[in-house]
Chains A and B, each alone.
Chain A
Amino acid sequence: MASYSTNEFKSGLKVMFEGDPCSILENEFVKPGKGQAFNRVRMRNLKSGKVWERTFKSGESLEGADVMDVTMQYLYSDGEFWHFMDPTSFEQKAADSAALGDSKQWLKEEDLCEVTLYNGEPLSVSPPNFVELEIVETDPGLKGDTAGTGGKPATLSTGAVVRVPLFVQTGEVVKVDTRTGEYVGRIKG
C-alpha cells in the first residue's frame, strides 16, 4: 500500500495505525509561529469502532490500509458465518458475528449490503438503510386504530423487534429504517 503524509490525511482516508485499520475523521493543522508544525488527528479504529485522537509531527506518514467498501448480496447464515456474494464477480465472502454486530438483525436473504473488506476479508457489514420484513409475531391490535399512538412491539422474521402501530398484524410486511430501528410503513401485499 502507498503511505500517506499528514497533509494528505482527509476525512475518509483509511490508514494503518498501531496495527489496526483506521478511518480518518478529522485532521487539524497546528503550528506555533516559527515552530514545529503538528497535526491533531481524530480517527476511528475500524476493528473496535473506538475513536482515537493522536498528534503527529507534520510530515510524518502512515501506511494506507487495504480497506474498501463493496456492495454485496446477503445469501444465508450457517449460524457461525454470514455469507455474502459480489453480484458481479459472484465471489463469496464469509463474515463472522463480530463483523456483523447489530447488523445481523436486519439481514434478509438477497438484500444488498455494504461490506467493508480489510485485506479482502469482511471487517464490518452495513444493512440497507431500509428493509422490508415480515412480522412473525405481534399482539392482535384494534382494527381501525390508525393514529399509531404508543404502538406495540412486533417480532420480525429476522428476530428484530420494532414498535409498530396497533393496526399492524402478524403476517404483514413492514418497512423499517435500520439506522434508527423505527417502523416506517406497511407494504401492501
Chain B
Amino acid sequence: MNDWSPSATLEAVKARADLLRTVRAFFDERAVMEVRTPHLAAHGVTDEHIDGIEVPGYGWLQSSPEYHMKRLLAAGSGPIYQIAPAFRHGEAGGRHNPEFTLLEWYRPGFDLAALVQECVELLAPILGAAPRSVTFRALFADATGEDPLSARADTLVARAEAAGAPAGLDYRQAVDFLMATVVEPSLDRDALTVVTDFPGWAAALAQTREDDDGALVARRFEIYHRHLELANGYQELTDADEQQRRFDADNARRRAAGKPAMPADRYLLAALQAGLAPCSGVALGIERLQMVLTGATRIEQVLPFPIQRA
C-alpha cells in the first residue's frame, strides 16, 4: 500500500499556500485583524444538521469558529478574520471531509450587501468569474417550478420524490433535497452566483425580514461557483433572547429527529447580552475554493491527507 503518500499533488499543496498568502494580503490591506480562537471548546452547536465530534473530558471540536469570534467582536475587537480548522461528524465524500478549513470573517457596521460586495472583491479576481445575484426564491422556482416559500408541503415533497428523494421527507428536507440535487446543478457553472434571501426557517444565525410579498426570509447569502457551494454569510443576529429561542427551536428539532439536544453556549448568549454591535459575517470553505481554482473533482485532490489516510 502507498497510502502513506499524499492524495493531493505537491502542486496542489503549493497552490494552497499561494491562495492563503493572497487571502492574508487581502485582509491585511483592509486592516482586518487575523485572530486565533479555540478549536476545542466546552460547547458544540445546536444546528439540527451539524453533528459535532466530541472529545471526552474536554467538550467538542468546533464545527466553526463563529461563537468565539462573536465573543471577540462583543469585546470590541473590530473587524477580524480567521483561517481555522472545522470538524463535522459524518461529513465525508467527494466534496466533504470531516476536518476542513474555514476562512471566516466579520465586519462590524457592514450590512449584508456590503459583505456580499467584499466577498465578490475577494473571489472574482481569484476565480476570474463575473458575479450574479439571485434570490433563493426566484432561483428555486426557476429550477423546480415550485415556490419554496409558499408551496404546500405535500407539493414540495412530491416534487422532491419525483426527483429521486427517499419517501417520508418533511417540507424542509424536501427543499434541502431539491436545492442539492436540482437547483445547484442548474446554476451557471462559470458565474459567481450569490444567492440571497434564504427561507426564514433556514436563517440559522442570521437576522430575518419580510420580503416584498410578506414572506419571512433570512438575511443570509451563499456563493456558488462551478456547482460548488463556497461561502455562507449572515447579517448577524445580535439579540440574545432571539438567539436563545433559536437554540431552543434547534434542540426541539434535534430531539424530534432522535438526536441528543446540545446545551446552548452560555458564553455566546452572555456576549450577546453584553452587546454585539451590528455586523455581518461569512464562512468560506478553503478546500472548496481550492477545488474550483484547480478544477479538482474530489476534495482529496486538494487535501494531502483526507480522513481515509489521516
Contacts and interface: CB of A to CB of B under 8 A. Distances in A.
Contact of A35 (B90, B164, B202): B202
B96 interface: yes
B229 interface: yes
B170 to A, nearest CB: 9
Interface residues of B, number: 28
Interface stretch (A50-58, A89-97, A103-111): A50-58
Interface in A6-43: 7, 27-38, 40
Contacts of A55: 164-166, 177, 181
Which of the listed residues B47, B50, B177 has the most CB atoms from chain A within 10 Å of its own CB? B177
Interface string B180-208: 11001000000000000000001010000
A59 interface: yes
A60 interface: yes
A30 to B, nearest CB: 5
Contact of A58 (B90, B165, B202, B222): B90
A29 B180 CA distance: 11
B49 interface: yes
Interface string B229-244: 1001000000000000
Interface in B269-304: none
Contact of B180 (A35, A53, A56): A35
B95 interface: yes
Given A54-B166, A56-B166, A60-B166, A32 B95 contact: no
Contacts, number: 72
B96 A29 contact: yes
A66 to B, nearest CB: 25
Contact of B94 (A28, A38, A54): A28
A38 to B, nearest CB: 6
A35 B165 CA distance: 14
A34 B91 contact: no
Chain A, interface size: which category? 20 to 34
Nearest to B90: A7
Interface string B147-189: 0000000000000000011100100110111011100100000
B153 to A, nearest CB: 14
A30 B50 contact: no
Contacts of B166: 38, 54-57, 60
Given A55-B166, A58-B90, A59-B90, A31 B173 contact: no
Interface in B72-94: 90-94
B94 A33 contact: no
A7 B97 CA distance: 12
B92 A31 contact: no
B160 to A, nearest CB: 9
Given A35-B179, A36-B173, A29 B229 contact: no
B91 A33 contact: no
Given A29-B91, A29-B92, A58-B90, A36 B164 contact: no
A53 B164 CA distance: 9
Given A7-B90, A29-B93, A36 B204 contact: no
Of all A-B residue pairs in the complex, the 3 with the closest CB atoms, nearest first, are: A29-B93, A35-B176, A36-B176
Interface of A: 7, 27-38, 40, 53-60
30 contacts: A7-B90, A28-B93, A28-B94, A29-B93, A29-B95, A29-B96, A31-B49, A31-B91, A31-B180, A32-B179, A34-B50, A34-B202, A34-B232, A35-B49, A35-B172, A35-B173, A35-B176, A35-B202, A36-B169, A36-B172, A36-B176, A37-B49, A37-B90, A38-B165, A38-B181, A54-B166, A55-B165, A55-B181, A56-B166, A60-B166
